[in-house]
Amino acid sequence: MPPIGACLRTLWPEMLKDPALVHRAFAFESAVFETTYIAGPVLIAGAIGSWSTAAASLACAALLLAGTLVFATAEASRAWRGSPRSEHHGGALRAPGVRTLAVVFVLIGVAFGAVEVAVPAAAYAAGHPSAAGWLLGVWGLGSLIGGLFAAHRPPPADRVRRLCLYLALLAAGHALLALPLGLVALAPLLLLAGGAIAPSFGLAYGLVETAAREGTVTEAFTWLTTGIAAGLAAGSALAGVLAEGPGAGAGFLTAGVGAACAAVFAGVRRGTIMPAGDGAVKAAG
């Protein structure tokens, strides 16, 4: 997948100017992105894939190409020009705030990767493997609802504190998934756990512009994408091993621990990502 998300997130501050609108745009984008996880498995894997796996692959390729063309030909994309940057081998990672956010995204990725394996493992253990897609859709629906709610709220006075709060709620919600209550109870718990996902992403994305050095904002966003991809791989692998032993509950507990570590790390390193306008002086690089 091309880094369209990173490019789009670079454009929001340039297009909207007003910090309140930028905050809402990031929250709304994170919410809308969840429709991919809600509708994608049903439409591509369920509808088209049940007819032909080759057709499903071709549909994915066509959607990817269409989305890339729509973004690349948009007026805002064609008009944007990057800022000058000093040449340095460290790039965007020179900024301590970008390094902090990248680690936070790795830990969030661990949580999400664990859930994406633990849910199918729980469905299989309950004798209903086909329920996994719907359960993951409910998880995404929770994130969509949370993101839409956050998009209608003004930006908080202390965005880093709010981010830590959302990450703590993310940890608590995913830890509850480890309770052995069966698939019927798992669905509402997934809805609840997903509620903090999009709001967390929206706030974290909004901190990148002030955390990154001039001329490295787009690269900083790509590092966050890289971080969450690395975390997804690690969380999936760990939850897969645990599913073969203790079971799906251990995978859900791994998700809770990953999100909790993200909250603690963001709190400890808050000085590196605290925008000056939020009442604190950003830590020196």
- Cα separation, 106 vs 108, in Å, equals 5
108-135: average pLDDT: 91
Reported as a pLDDT band with limits 50, 70 and 90, residue 280 is very low
Q: pLDDT value at position 8?
A: 87
Above pLDDT 70, what percent of the chain?
Answer: 91
Length of the chain: 285
Q: pLDDT value at position 189?
A: 96
Q: Is 82 in contact with 207 (CB distance < 8 Å)?
A: no
The domains of the chain, with CATH numbers, are: 4-82+92-278 (1.20.1250.20)
Flag whether pLDDT at 88 surpasses 70. no
Residues 6+ apart with CB under 8 A from 199: 27, 30, 146, 147, 149, 150, 166
Flag whether pLDDT at 46 surpasses 80. no
Flag whether pLDDT at 220 surpasses 60. yes
- Cα separation, 26 vs 145, in Å, equals 14
- Cα separation, 239 vs 128, in Å, equals 19
115, 119, 121, 124 alpha-carbon torsion, rounded to 10°: -170
74-79: average pLDDT: 87
Q: Is 220 in contact with 92 (CB distance < 8 Å)?
A: yes
Q: Say if pTM beats, i.e. exceeds, 0.95.
A: no
Dihedral angle sign, alpha carbons of residues 270, 276, 282, 285? positive
Query: How distant is the alpha carbon of residue 212 from its chain centre?
Result: 19
Flag whether pLDDT at 190 surpasses 70. yes
Flag whether pLDDT at 64 surpasses 50. yes
Above pLDDT 90, what percent of the chain?
Answer: 47
- Cα separation, 159 vs 167, in Å, equals 12
- Cα separation, 145 vs 129, in Å, equals 26
